[in-house]
Amino acid sequence: MPLKFSWVTSANDARHPFPLNNLPYGVFSIKDDEPKCGVAIGDLILNVTEAEARGIISLSDEPLFDLPFWNPLMEQGPAVWAALRERLTELLAEGSVEQERVETLLVPQADVEMHMPFAVSEYTDFYAGRNHAFNVGTMFRGPENALPPNWLHIPIGYNGRASSVVVSGTDIRRPWGQLKSPDHDKPAFLPCRRFDIELEMGAIVGTPSDGPISVQEADDQIFGYVLLNDWSARDIQAWEYQPLGPFQAKATATSISPWIVTKPALEPFRCATPEREFELLDHLKDCGPMLYDIDLEVTIAPEGKPETTIARTNYNQMYYSAAQQLAHHTTSGCPMNVGDLLGSGTISGASKPERGSLLELSWGGKEPMTLATGETRSFIEDGDTLTLKGIANGDGYTIGFGDCVGTVLPALENPYAR
């Protein structure tokens, strides 16, 4: 599919992440105004809340965009999702007869503050990238036992904290936790010393389910995707995770990019999951190309200094797709809700420059990275800004999500000191 031309000039730049082909959904505010629903087009934002108030967009008898999140639209289902995309394309396409009406509803992206684009109902994070799972398993158990016996049969996950999901640009406070190093007999309560990121994609459930669903039904229920950074306290995790898995190590924060890129915008970038060593059971079998060809990048910038790209990989490296993760989630009868967020798990490629976490890049701290500034990093230091970037490259256009950014602040003073 080639570039769709818009009367918004900046949207026609082949390098711009928000062409007419994209039309991602976000929530923005200007100065002290109330947050509103908006759609990115070029370097501008269409105020969808106001467009609905003026009758330019009318999809329901009840307002869908008077609240500062996109959940009410999700609740309407795929037919209304498609109707909105068709209407937005009609309004913003080159030659639109409604250009004059719409021009007054555009605001520069440079002038806005972005907010959470949707209300997160529940959050589940998966461990579905094979290269990451193999690397981490090798560090702790050796290559012969790197993957757990179930890993090649089901997507493994854990229930995270919806309350700690934050939008890009939110500062991240270094957490405290109970740590225990191998050379000490007793644990200690200390600030995290091995703070890390995980490069992931997040899938947003747009329609609810109550009972098992197929992979195809799951794919149909996904509303869109965001970049996702699963901040991870590796030393807290190492002490607490046995026998029930991650807990406080993953509860500090999960950052997401500000724009929801809808599934239709990503449709031209569909690609297949990898070959399987074991045939998946029926409820998990692929029903077509289930992944997306999305180039991903991680940068780190010490406070006040230039950034260094530390990893480049692609979403096509995943072993299980979001649809397979969602379908498996429902097998027990677990209801899924509008606004549920599914983290893909860390996305890493086969080579060292493709690893999606500092744990892997520094191999547990044994191989520190050298930044462009000459400094070294094994894990994140206070003042470091971590940025996730994602781009799908089309025929004369690119589809972007907006950067997913977080700056790490020093830990608080001991909250339990007497």
pLDDT in tens, 379-389: 999 999 999 99
Give the Cα separation of 81 and 61 in Å (integer).
Answer: 15
Give the Cα separation of 216 and 187 in Å (integer).
Answer: 47
Predicted confidence (pLDDT) at residue 418 exceeds the cutoff of 80: no
Least Cα distance to 37 among 57, 18, 9 occurs for: 57
Lowest mean pLDDT, pick from 39-53, 159-173, 179-193, 327-341: 179-193
328 token code pair = 């498996």
Mean pLDDT in residue range 71-95: 98
Paired sense of beta strands 270-271 and 254-256, if any: unpaired
Same domain for 131 and 108: no
Same domain for 160 and 104: no
Same domain for 127 and 190: yes
Same domain for 351 and 243: yes
Q: Helices (H) and strands (E) in the chain — how many of each? A: 10, 27
Asked if residue 4 belongs to a domain, the reply is no
Same domain for 109 and 197: no
Tell me if 222 sits within 8 A of 206, measured CB to CB.
yes
Mean pLDDT in residue range 139-158: 94
pLDDT digits (tens, 9 = 90+) for 340-373: 999 999 999 999 999 999 999 999 999 999 999 9
Preceding amide of 108 cis, omega within 30: no
What does the pLDDT read at residue 219? 98
322 token code pair = 């979001």
What does the pLDDT read at residue 256? 98
67 token code pair = 């609240």
Q: Show which of 64, 93, 115 is a domain's final residue.
A: 115
Mean pLDDT in residue range 397-406: 98
What does the pLDDT read at residue 406? 98
In terms of Cβ atoms closer than 10 Å to its own Cβ (0-12, 13-18, 19+), residue 303 is exposed
Domain with 344, as residue range(s), is 123-409
Same domain for 367 and 290: yes
Tell me if 126 sits within 8 A of 156, measured CB to CB.
yes
pLDDT band at 132 (very low <50, low <70, confident <90, very high): very high
Q: Is 132 a catalytic residue?
A: yes
Same domain for 134 and 49: no
Asked if residue 414 belongs to a domain, the reply is no
Query: Across all residues in the chain, what is the average pLDDT?
Result: 97
Predicted confidence (pLDDT) at residue 245 exceeds the cutoff of 90: no
Asked if residue 22 belongs to a domain, the reply is yes
Predicted confidence (pLDDT) at residue 181 exceeds the cutoff of 90: no
Q: Which position has the token pair 């379908």?
A: 327
Mean pLDDT in residue range 98-113: 98
Same domain for 138 and 75: no
**pTM across the whole model:** 0.97
Q: How many domains does the chain have?
A: 2
Q: Show which of 94, 115, 136 is a domain's final residue.
A: 115
Residue 86's domain is classified under what CATH number?
2.30.30.230
Predicted confidence (pLDDT) at residue 242 exceeds the cutoff of 90: no
Q: Show which of 95, 115, 135 is a domain's final residue.
A: 115
Give the Cα separation of 167 and 33 in Å (integer).
Answer: 18
For the chain, how big is the Rg over CA atoms in Å?
22
pLDDT band at 1 (very low <50, low <70, confident <90, very high): confident
Asked if residue 215 belongs to a domain, the reply is yes
pLDDT digits (tens, 9 = 90+) for 183-239: 788 999 999 999 999 999 999 999 999 999 999 999 999 999 999 999 999 999 999
Asked if residue 57 belongs to a domain, the reply is yes
What does the pLDDT read at residue 12? 98
Paired sense of beta strands 295-301 and 385-393, if any: antiparallel
Give the Cα separation of 208 and 337 in Å (integer).
Answer: 5
Same domain for 82 and 127: no
Sequence-separated contacts (24+) of 175-179 with Cβ below 8 Å: 175/233, 175/236, 175/248, 175/251, 175/252, 175/411, 176/411, 176/412, 176/414, 176/415, 177/233, 177/235, 177/236, 177/240, 177/248, 177/249, 178/236, 178/239, 178/240, 179/235, 179/236, 179/239
Catalytic residue among 132, 184, 283, 329: 132
Give the Cα separation of 174 and 192 in Å (integer).
Answer: 7
Same domain for 87 and 131: no
Same domain for 153 and 299: yes
Residue 333's domain is classified under what CATH number?
3.90.850.10
Predicted confidence (pLDDT) at residue 105 exceeds the cutoff of 80: yes
Asked if residue 40 belongs to a domain, the reply is yes
What are the CA-CA distances from residue 64 to residues 72, 144, 184, 257, 292 (Å)?
5, 53, 57, 22, 29
Running DSSP on this structure, what letter comes out for residue 392? E
Tell me if 6 sits within 8 A of 41, measured CB to CB.
yes
Predicted confidence (pLDDT) at residue 62 exceeds the cutoff of 80: yes
Asked if residue 3 belongs to a domain, the reply is no
Same domain for 232 and 172: yes
Asked if residue 415 belongs to a domain, the reply is no
